[in-house]
Amino acid sequence: MSDAAKYVDDYPTCAATYATLRIYTGETKPEIVTDSLQVKASKILRKGEAGARLNGRFLSSKGLIDSRDLRKHLDWVLEQIRGKDSELRVLQTTPGMRMDVSCYWAGHGHGGPTFSPSQMR
């Protein structure tokens, strides 16, 4: 399937969407993630600065992907960290480190986002 057929950029039940890889680093400085993954962060939080209660590093498709299909946003995030499996495993075993993918979806009407089987893996 071609990329053009893979996504529905004008997803009819979505007003806005984006995906964010969130890595909270506990007491470790968030720059360790950038150093390890060699991927520029969208946003960095440093505990104690600007009211931040946690250290964190975020990689987000917000404002970068022109599509209302969450699958396209997720694929963009996954592409940014492709080939970084061993680096991610090391980070995941670092004490206090927590990772997740947050998906923002503002819908209208009935229905919601979908995920591809490969994204679920």
pLDDT in tens, the chain (121 residues): 445 568 999 999 999 999 999 999 999 999 999 999 999 999 999 999 998 999 999 999 999 999 999 999 999 999 999 999 999 999 999 999 999 999 999 998 788 888 888 888 8
CB neighbourhood size of 121 (10 A): 5
pLDDT of residue 114: 86
Strands 14-26 vs 55-60: parallel, antiparallel or unpaired: antiparallel
Structure tokens at 77: 């995030």
Matching residue, tokens 């890595």 = 23
Domain 16-109 - what CATH class? alpha beta
Q: What is the pLDDT of residue 120?
A: 84
Q: How far apart are CA 67 and CA 63, in angstroms?
A: 10
Question: Which residue carries 């480190």 as its tokens?
Answer: 97
Give CA torsion, residues 115, 101, 110, 121, to 10 deg.
20
Report domain extents, the chain. 16-109
Q: What is the pLDDT of residue 5?
A: 66
Distance CA 110, CA 14 (A): 9
Which residues, including other chains, have CB under 8 Å from residue 60's CB and lie 6 or more apart? 18, 19, 20, 21, 42, 43, 77
Q: In whole angstroms, give the CA distance from residue 42 to residue 63.
A: 10
Output the pLDDT for position 88: 96
What does pTM read for this prediction? 0.90
